[in-house]
Amino acid sequence: MLVLGLESSCDETAAAVVEDGTRALSDVVASQVDMHARFGGVVPELASRAHVANIIPVVEEALDRAGVGLDDLGAVAVTQGPGLIGALLVSVQVGKGIAYGRGLPLVGVHHLEGHLSAVYLEPDPPPLPHLALVVSGGHTSLIRVDDHGRLVELGATRDDAAGEAFDKVAKLLGLGYPGGVMIDRLAKSGDPTAVGFPRAMTKKETGYEFSFSGLKTAVLVHVQQHGIPEGQGLADLCASFQDTVVEVLVRKTRQAARDHGLAHVQMCGGVAANSRLRSQMSAAGAEDGFRVHVPPPRRCTDNAAMIAAAGFYRLRRGAHSNLSLAADSALPLPAAIG
Ligand code: KG4
Ligand code: ZN
């Protein structure tokens, strides 16, 4: 079955056609990064307006590239939430329009369930159950994926998400938006041991919870005391910050894999594109005996193929939405479990 996926929860307008939840026939993303960059972050009203302008051409391109028409589709999947409400509304309304116009089933998808489903588009996806580390701009969670849509959140961040920490630190260092990619790039030539930042929530009793706001403040204090370094110093600072985030993410993930006896770990969300996180997690897996599955970087960040894949599995479980489907900026994860 072909599912058209639509995603507009933040600053990417995306549409994709996915076959049977496993094969992306097309995957189109119109990024608004350049527009928001000069404001140092996403401006919600501008995002909504750009989604309105982009969504129809993006859908048309997704159908064209897949070589299919609306009549070939079996269903429409849209991100229902969480995200920016004005942004979410755009693909929810367009999805409803297409579903109504063509008499197709419509399914609302939780954005995180989408990220978790990106890995099923890879040739060798992890078996179920497995452990998932979701690390994006809005979320940092360890989730036990017992089955499609049967998700148990083991722990999450108490404050900032990992991606948020990358973005805020990048802004502080004058590296522009979005910051994760810039820090990743600069850190490659830096010394991760140059600056000793505190690793929060590493005591056993903190379980699988994370905290990154203290680290952000530690970087701020460092910059207030020493100024923003240039050249090698900047690379060292980026590498030290990045390594602190990565070390905590890896430490908690390997603990959870051990505690739950899971031999497969997937990482998803924008920060899963981070080169240091990818290499350190693989090294930990090799040592502890778990296999690491990560989608390619473009499927770690927001896209619609992951939404179409998640939608396919939701439909297969008998879950579907009707035309009263409402975008929900704070949609809780359990509500997405059909
Ligand atoms: O999943 P995503 O595209 O959007 C959300 O659902 O939030 O994640 C975006 C986040 C941003 O915070 C961005 O800075 C971060 O992912 N990111 C990275 C990298 N690429 C994107 N963080 C670290 N290293 C990267 N290479
Ligand atoms: Zn996302």
Ligand 2 center to 268 CA (angstroms): 9
Q: Ligand 1: which of 111, 166, 246, 294 to mutate, judged by most atoms within 8 Å of the beta carbon?
A: 166
Residues 336 and 318: their CA atoms lie apart, in Å, by: 13
Q: Are 42 and 72 in contact (CB under 8 A)?
A: no
| Out of 83-97, 200-214, 249-263, least confident range | 200-214
Supply the Cα-derived Rg of the chain in whole angstroms: 20
Q: Distance, CA 269 to ligand 1 centroid (Å)? A: 7
Q: Which of 271, 299, 333 to mutate to test the pocket of ligand 1 (most atoms within 8 A of CB)?
A: 271
Mutational test site, ligand 1, from 136, 141, 188, 267, max ligand atoms within 8 Å of CB: 136
Task: Note the pLDDT tens digit of each residue in 96-115.
Answer: 999 999 999 999 999 999 99
Beta-carbon contacts of residue 6 (< 8 Å; ≥ 6 apart): 14, 15, 55, 59, 76, 77, 78, 79, 91, 94, 95, 304, 307
In this structure, the residue with its CA closest to atom 22 of ligand 1 is 180
Considering every ligand atom shown, identify the ligand nearest to the alpha carbon of residue 29 and give its number.
1
pLDDT at 325: 96
178 burial via Cβ count (<10 Å: 0-12, 13-18, 19+): buried
pLDDT bin (cut points 50, 70, 90) of residue 224 is very high
What token pair was written down for 43? 């401006």
Question: Which residues hold their Cβ within 5 A of ligand 2, which is an ion?
Answer: 136, 302
Look-up of token digits 């008998």: 318
Q: What is the pLDDT of residues 160-212, one digit of tens each?
A: 999 999 999 999 999 988 899 999 999 999 999 999 998 887 777 789 999 99
Residue 214: other Cβ atoms inside 10 A: 16
Task: Report residue 38's pLDDT band, with 50, 70 and 90 as the boundaries.
Answer: confident
Model pTM?
A: 0.94
pLDDT at 335: 46
Closest-lying ligand 1 atom to the alpha carbon of residue 137: 7
Shortest-distance ligand to the CA of residue 166: 1
- Calculate the CA 291 to chain-centre distance: 20
User: How far, in Å, from the CA of 162 to the mean position of ligand 1?
Assistant: 8
For 176, left (φ over 0), alpha (ψ -120 to 50), or beta?
left
Residue 336 has pLDDT above 80, yes or no: no
pLDDT > 70? residue 292:
yes
- pLDDT tens, 122-135? 999 999 999 999 99
* Separation between Cα atoms, residue 130 and residue 269, nearest integer Å: 16
Residue 4 Cα to ligand 1 middle (Å): 24
Express as a percent the part of the chain with pLDDT over 70.
99
pLDDT range class, residue 338, cuts 50, 70, 90: very low
Domains and CATH numbers, the chain: 2-117+299-337 (3.30.420.40), 128-294 (3.30.420.40)
Task: Enumerate residues lining ligand 1, CB below 6 A.
Answer: 10, 136-138, 163, 166-167, 178-181, 184, 269-271, 273-274, 301-302
- Residue 263, pLDDT score: 98
pLDDT of 337 over the 80 cut: no
Q: Which of 185, 217, 184, 176 is nearest to 198 (CA)?
A: 217
One-letter amino acid identity for 299? Answer: R
User: For residue 108, what are the β-bridge partners?
Assistant: 78
Residue 314 has which token pair?
Answer: 């939701």
Ligand 1 atom nearest the C-alpha of 138 is: 7
